[in-house]
Amino acid sequence: ITSRDAVNIVQRRLRKVKVGHAGTLDPLAEGVLVIALGPASRLVPYVQQQPKDYRATFRFGESSVSGDLEGEIARHPELPKPNRADVDSAAKLLVGRIQQTPPTHSAIWVDGKRAYKRIRAGETFEMPKRTVEVYSIQVLRYEYPEIELDISCGSGTYIRSIGIDLAKSCGTNAVMSFLCRHRVGSFGVDGSTSVENLRTKDLESIIIDPNVAVEHLDQIVVDRTQCTRLGHGLALQGTKPTAKQSEAAAITTSGALRAIVREKRGEWFPYRVFPTD
């Protein structure tokens, strides 16, 4: 199913609750999809800030217009078969802040229209490059023509493009044959629930504490008086941001997320406030 399908399953069961998700998964992919409910949907941008870990398999010597198995596969037996040293060297070149060209068969907006819709309409256009952050690429297995990669990256990175660019560096082509997102920040596959549970199980029993979405932020414990001030849009008293801090999570003494606070004029002011019991 698609990411939108998963959200729709939850939305149909919680008709009066806002439902959103952090990070679209391709229809052929599997793994972690973070779904946010109610006020927690305002935390989606903070989930997106966190690293995403993927396991992906590619086949060298093949290509398709989509970069994966959805498109018609073309085989290129005339292209070289890279050795392991070539592959490892190419992987190192793709780590860091890099320029990446997303696949044309993607949901990126190009001149006001989704790229994949323009392709299906027979249009010709140039995909804009984007800067993405790749934290690490580990070659888990390489037995030509298959290569399996473990990739940790930032939001907006296209895994298909990483495999294809790696292949190009080795003088060949590639298609992605498998993709699993096994972690988004602190949200991992091991702690996930199934699509079937979304359809049938008591949703309240599988909801995760929204604090997990902001574990990467500095945390400030706030008492009842400070909670009230935040609710009124007033600055926190008794704590000041340092020069390196621009945002933090205000947590109540009982462990509930009260607000996201931002530095303003040397003080912490509420940016997003959440209800507490």
Positions annotated as catalytic residues are: 26
Is 255:245 a contact under the CB 8 Å cutoff?
no
Q: How many CB atoms lie within 10 A of CB 274?
A: 21
Q: Where are the alpha helices (DSSP H) in the chain?
A: 3-13, 44-48, 84-93, 115-120, 159-169, 195-200, 224-231
Peptide bond into 45 cis (omega under 30): no
3-state secondary structure of 261: strand
The full length of the chain comes to 277
- In sequence order, which residues have a C-beta less than 8 Å from that of residue 238 and are 6 or more positions away? 226
Strand 113-114 relative to strand 74-75, pairing: unpaired
